[in-house]
Amino acid sequence: MDLRFTDEELKFRDKLRHFFQIKIPEKIREKVSAGESLSKEEMVTSQRILNAAGLAVPHWPIEWGGKNWTPIQRYIFTEEVLYNAVPLPLQFNCFMVGPVIATFGNQKQKERFLKRAANLDDWWCQGFSEPGAGSDLASLTTRAVREGDHYIVNGQKTWTTLGQYADWIFCLVRTDPNVKKQAGISFILIDMKTPGITIRPIITIDGRHEVNEIFFTDVKVPAENLVGEENKGWSYAKFLLANERSGIARLGLTKERVSRIKRLAKTVPYHEQTMWENTGFRERLSWLEIELKALEITQMRVLSKQVSGDKAPDPASSILKIKGSELQQASTELLLELAGPLSLAGSDAAALPDGVDWARGVPGLYMNTRKVSIYGGSNEIQHNVIAKAILGM
């Protein structure tokens, strides 16, 4: 197998890189690079720029805005978005509910929702996890009871990311409690303005309002909002989660962060020198880069199987998830070490010397990144997948 990009693929990469650097506002990219939260307006602005250029949903069917890209081109696109600190198109719209509707929805649903999702005219959020159904998602208890041409929904969802901005929520609901748990679940679309929906913020350890809990009390949902067949929702959820986990290693993000660490290290004092001249710090940074390169080669090996036409799920993706999340966390640990006492100034910009206001947001970024080894299938679960599917244990 050849793990190098072709000349055409390199030209494709350079064209994307130029577009991102020229067209996406620098202020937005600077906030992404610093790990700061974007406003709803900034996220909408970025995605609409991408969508106008045909770059919001390149993995969708062509008739709904997709492009006939190779797996390598799709990989390059995702990594360049991350490496150039461009906000990813909203995951819930573009990688979750959009592909589900495009694959399992009826024509009316496709025409109603897909173009608006690609342009972020509708903001979607995800209603999967519940207080008693996280890793064991099939144990969910939110009920949807059919009454004529509507469903009546009651229950609770939690960890609903950016739900405070959402116009719509796609939910897994239990429509048949009398069969085995995976067999009685349906996939339904709910307008967040429907009476009976209550949303409450969950403030995370870094002080951000990023996730929420949502309560449904006798929420009346048109039956036409059911996607696919009733009680087939578990199959659609597995399809969705496969899309969510694609590119979960986020190599481009860690590469961009390493580049930023290198730049900053040359400006941060360390005794009579700078942190860049601290041998111990350089050794840890070198280790991170070596591990990153090894992960990139593993990623290319997985891609080469896809290019060869192998459609079978590759358990090596669990390796990518584990190592990718570990390296994301390792990069924030180095960044926190670099910020040192400067990060203690918190949000008080006046307390920081000139040129080091970047340190203000580092503790929050560090804490927020603890989650990456949990979402998308916790690393503990991925270790079990590797043990069974690769090692045969």
177: nearest Cα among 140, 217, 137: 140
Contact 217, 199 (CB under 8 A): no
- Helix segments in 34-155, DSSP class H: 40-52, 71-83, 91, 98-104, 107-118
341 exposure class (CB count in 10 Å sphere: 0-12, 13-18, 19+): exposed
Residue 340 carries which DSSP code? G
Residues 261, 334 contacting (CB under 8 angstroms): yes
- Please say if 244 is a catalytic residue: yes
| DSSP tag of 133 | B
Rounded Cα distance, 346 and 205, in Å: 14
Catalytic residue among 79, 244, 256, 337: 244
Token pair for 374: 């949990």
Contact 330, 299 (CB under 8 A): no
CA distance 242 to 40: 26
Three-state DSSP state, 141: coil
| Residues 151 and 188 sit within 8 Å (Cβ to Cβ) | yes
CA 170 to chain centre: 16
Q: Which residues are catalytic?
A: 244
